[in-house]
Chain A
Amino acid sequence: MSNVLVIAEHLDGQLNPSTGRAISAAAALKADAIDVLVLAEAPDAIAAEAANYAGVRKVLTVARAENAHPLAAVLAPQVARAAEGYSHVFAPSTTFGKDLMPRVAALLGVGQVSDIMAVEGSHRFQRPIYAGNAIVDVEAPADATVVATVRTASWPVAGTADSAAPVEPLALDVELPSHTRFVGLEQAGGDRPDLQGARVVVSGGRALASEDNFKLIYDLADALGAAVGASRAAVDAGYCPNDMQVGQTGKIIAPDLYFAIGISGAIQHLTGIKDAGTIVAINKDPDAPIFEIADYGLVGDLFKIVPELEAAVR
Chain B
Amino acid sequence: MKILVGYKRVVDYNVRIQVKPDGSGVVTDGVKLSPNPFDDIALEEALRLREKGVADEVVIVGIGPANLGPHLRNGLAMGANRAIHVVSEDAVPPLAAARVLLKLVEKEQPGLVIVGKQAIDDDNNQTGQMLAALWDRPQATFASKLEIAGDKATVVREVDAGLETIEVDLPAVVTTDLRLNEPRFIKLPDIMKAKSKPIDSMELADLGVEGGAPIRATSYAAPPKRSRGTMVENVGELVDALKQKGLL
Spell out A's residues near B (CB within 8 Å).
Answer: 11, 71-73, 76, 94-96, 98-107, 110-115, 124, 128-141, 144, 177, 179-189, 196, 200, 224, 232, 235-236, 241-243, 248-249, 251, 256-257, 267-268, 274, 277-280, 291-299, 305, 308-309, 312-313
Contacts and interface: CB of A to CB of B under 8 A. Distances in A.
A224 to B, nearest CB: 8
Interface string B209-242: 0000111111111110011111111111011011
A309 B167 contact: no
A111 B215 contact: yes
Nearest to A232: B178
B183 interface: no
Interface residues of B, number: 82
Contacts of A257: 242, 247
Nearest to A183: B165
A202 to B, nearest CB: 13
Contacts of A71: 166
B40 to A, nearest CB: 14
Interface string B7-26: 00001010011010000001
22 contacts: A95-B141, A95-B159, A103-B130, A103-B133, A103-B139, A112-B94, A114-B124, A114-B125, A129-B121, A129-B122, A138-B216, A138-B217, A141-B215, A179-B172, A180-B140, A183-B167, A187-B161, A241-B162, A242-B179, A243-B161, A257-B247, A278-B245
A65 B136 CA distance: 21
**Pairs of residues from A and B, 8 with the lowest C-beta to C-beta distance, nearest first:** A102-B129, A106-B133, A295-B229, A106-B130, A102-B126, A133-B17, A183-B165, A293-B226
Contact of B213 (A96, A111, A188, A280): A111
Given A113-B215, A137-B218, A241-B162, A72 B125 contact: no
Interface of B: 11, 13, 16-17, 19, 26, 93-95, 98, 117-118, 120-134, 136-142, 144, 154, 157-169, 172, 177-179, 213-223, 226-236, 238-239, 241-242, 245, 247-248
Interface centre among A71, A110, A124, A279 (most CB of B within 10 A): A71
B242 A278 contact: yes
A296 B230 contact: yes
Given A72-B129, A72-B141, A298-B235, A134 B222 contact: yes
Nearest to B19: A134
Nearest to B154: A183
Given A114-B125, A196-B160, A297-B230, A134 B133 contact: no
